[in-house]
Amino acid sequence: MTHQTPELRITLRRSPIGTPQRVRRILLSLGLRRLSQTVLRPDTPQVRGLIDKVKHLLEVSPL
């Protein structure tokens, strides 16, 4: 029996231009490189923490 982790759909909605380098590194670690790009990530505390740091640039919805 496999237990599947729920996933989050994360979309970059605002440009990181003018943001600190730390914010850009967080976006890259989430896999977001271009505006309007969408990625699927597991719903874990680590991913939630990254999202919380840059939530002003993202749109997040459960899958």
Do 39 and 8 touch, CB atoms closer than 8 A?
no
7-62 adopts what CATH topology?
Answer: Ribosomal Protein L30; Chain: A, (3.30.1390)
- Per DSSP, what are the bridge partners of residue 61? 9
Per DSSP, the three-state class of 21 is helix
Which helix (H) or strand (E) segment holds residue 53: the answer is helix 45-53
> What residue spans define the domains of the chain?
7-62
CA atoms within 13 A on the CB side of 34: 3
Residue 62, pLDDT > 60, answer: yes
Residue 18 pLDDT? 97
Per-residue pLDDT of 11-48, as tens digits, reads: 999 999 999 999 999 999 999 999 999 999 999 999 99
Residue 47 pLDDT? 97
Residue 26 pLDDT? 98
Question: Can you tell me the mean pLDDT for 45-52?
Answer: 97
Do 35 and 44 touch, CB atoms closer than 8 A?
no
